[in-house]
């Protein structure tokens, strides 16, 4: 839509409020709302002001004024507001220079798309994430100087088979057996369908939904692939929708990668491919039906995976999932069909248009704008430098001996290790001014101080079991 068409759409829909949404540095949506009487076409050129110093990782207080610039192409009616509300996703601009703000994740993603076109390699990077999440019935957590705990619960939790539920009807997915029995064991089919219908109501196509492997309401909903920025927008709508639908049912959703000990964590496998002039560039006659360009893209992903982890697996909890010997792919190898490889070549269809790679190590705490942009930049670096991904690893990696795995590199074991990798390997992100030194440094500094160091300062409950009587 054009700005004029947005105004007409707003009036036709009877909107009584206009909501402006934008992505903070770490990946959460922020918003404020105005009356339709405040909206005309000039808003799309001049923007609206807000306090950038109150957004995590952004402006200092002495330079706090910022502008949101609504993108007219993102106009939809918000499906959750009681009163008719038009929703617009915004970019962030400096009010003095009128330049796009370098720390705005959406601007970074837009620059990544522009950089791809400038290289001449392709004109479209398609992304298709598969976010997993838990739908829970109760969550409590807290920590102070003398106590710390968390408690979560789900009516589906296998640990509740013996609970007095007056009556307890059983039908609770066993650990690692939630993929995917029918109801009544799967008790959340209707909730997931409602989530899908909401996604479709705001314009996103959903390919499938199902229960995932873990007990306690683990779910997956897969959206059809889209170009990078549009898919990052879609991922924000995805999280917004599943959380709000769950709340309607007096339930709650978490995208934490590892909220439950002893069962599968939540990943976000990301399918990706490059196209040019409407033609897929990853299809060829090489291994797995892939092109030489696609293999170099894989080479870039594998080479820079340690640094990518700082964006694709950006929390300390991410590394509770990325543990050798368990379900998450920590070994940096590629394969066709093999889900134990960090990069998989799906073999569902022989169609050239279906040729893509699936990067399996990311998780859904990832800020899509930053994570997708970083993976694209790594893949492009691989193409430009003609990096080889090495030989495919078509065996079950989890069954290999340490001797067989000694030459296969692995993912970082912690967030601070990933941040160290990013500090030492980020030149590929700076091409085309997509990421900047300031963005990389700010990301590392924020994550180290607010998350890594904060975790180091606090005793863990299991340490009492290990060490109290030492």
Residues with catalytic annotation?
Answer: 51, 130, 132, 212, 220, 269, 339, 358, 360
Helices (H) and strands (E) in the chain, counts: 15, 18
Residue whose C-alpha is closest to residue 321's, from 128, 130, 132, 457 = 132
Question: Alpha-carbon distance 112 to 116, whole Å?
Answer: 6
CA atoms within 13 A of residue 72's CA, in its CB half-sphere: 17
CA atoms within 13 A of residue 139's CA, in its CB half-sphere: 13
Which two structure tokens, joined as six digits, stand for 228?
């990078």
Coil, strand or helix: which one is 155? coil
Question: Alpha-carbon distance 81 to 244, whole Å?
Answer: 10
CB 95 within 8 A of CB 67: yes
Coil, strand or helix: which one is 190? helix
> Phi and psi (nearest 5°) for 42?
-65, -25
CB 22 within 8 A of CB 51: no
DSSP state of 224: P
Question: Alpha-carbon distance 21 to 326, whole Å?
Answer: 38
Neighbours of 126 (CB within 10 A): 20
In whole angstroms, how far apart are CA 124 and each of 7, 76, 118, 172?
29, 24, 11, 44
Pairing of strands 85-93, 17-23: parallel
Residue whose C-alpha is closest to residue 225's, from 76, 124, 361 = 124
Q: What is the CA radius of gyration of the chain?
A: 23
Pairing of strands 343-345, 334-336: parallel
- Whether the link from the prior residue into 263 is cis, omega within 30° of 0, is no
Say how many Å lie between the first and final Cα of the chain, rounded: 67
> Phi and psi (nearest 5°) for 313?
-135, 70
């Amino acid at each position: 839509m054009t700005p004029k068409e947005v105004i007409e759409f707003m009036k036709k829909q009877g909107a009584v409020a206009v909501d402006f949404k934008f992505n903070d540095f770490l990946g959460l949506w922020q918003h404020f709302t105005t009356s339709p009487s405040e909206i005309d076409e000039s808003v799309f050129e001049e923007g609206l002001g807000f306090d950038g110093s109150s957004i995590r990782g952004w402006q200092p207080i002495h330079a706090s004024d910022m502008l949101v610039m609504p993108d007219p192409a993102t106009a939809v009616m918000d499906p959750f507001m009681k009163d008719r509300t038009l929703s617009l996703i915004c970019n962030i601009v400096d009010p003095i220079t009128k330049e796009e703000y370098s720390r705005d994740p959406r601007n970074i993603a837009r620059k990544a798309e522009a950089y791809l076109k400038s290289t001449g390699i392709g004109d479209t990077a398609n992304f298709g994430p598969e976010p997993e999440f838990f739908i829970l019935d109760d969550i409590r957590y807290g920590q102070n100087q003398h106590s710390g705990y968390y408690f979560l619960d789900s009516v589906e939790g296998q640990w509740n088979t013996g609970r007095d539920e007056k009556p307890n009807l059983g039908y609770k997915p066993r650990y690692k057996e939630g993929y995917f029995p029918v109801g009544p064991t799967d008790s959340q089919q209707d909730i997931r369908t409602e989530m899908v219908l909401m996604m479709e109501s705001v314009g996103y196509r959903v390919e499938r939904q199902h229960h995932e492997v873990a007990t306690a309401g683990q779910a997956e909903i897969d959206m059809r692939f889209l170009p990078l920025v549009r898919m990052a927008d879609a991922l924000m709508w995805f999280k917004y929708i599943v959380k709000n639908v769950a709340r309607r049912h007096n339930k709650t959703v978490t995208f934490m990668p590892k909220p439950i000990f002893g069962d599968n964590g939540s990943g976000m496998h990301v399918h990706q491919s490059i196209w040019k002039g409407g033609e897929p560039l990853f299809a060829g006659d090489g291994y797995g039906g892939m092109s030489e360009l696609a293999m170099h893209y894989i080479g870039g992903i594998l080479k820079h995976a340690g640094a990518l982890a700082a964006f694709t697996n950006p929390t300390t909890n991410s590394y509770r999932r990325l543990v050798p010997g368990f379900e998450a792919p920590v070994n940096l190898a590629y394969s066709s069909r093999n889900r134990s490889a960090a990069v998989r070549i799906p073999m569902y269809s022989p169609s050239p248009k279906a040729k893509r790679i699936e990067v399996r190590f990311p998780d859904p705490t990832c800020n899509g704008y930053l994570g997708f942009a970083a993976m694209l930049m790594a893949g492009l670096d691989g193409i430009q430098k003609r990096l080889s991904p090495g030989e495919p690893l078509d065996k079950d990696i989890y069954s290999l001996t340490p001797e067989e795995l000694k030459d296969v590199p692995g993912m970082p074991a912690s967030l601070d290790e990933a941040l160290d990798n990013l500090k030492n390997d980020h030149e590929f992100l700076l091409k085309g001014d997509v990421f900047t030194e300031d963005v990389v440094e700010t990301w590392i500094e924020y994550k180290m101080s607010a998350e890594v160091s904060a975790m180091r300062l606090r005793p863990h409950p299991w340490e009492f079991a290990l060490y109290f009587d030492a």
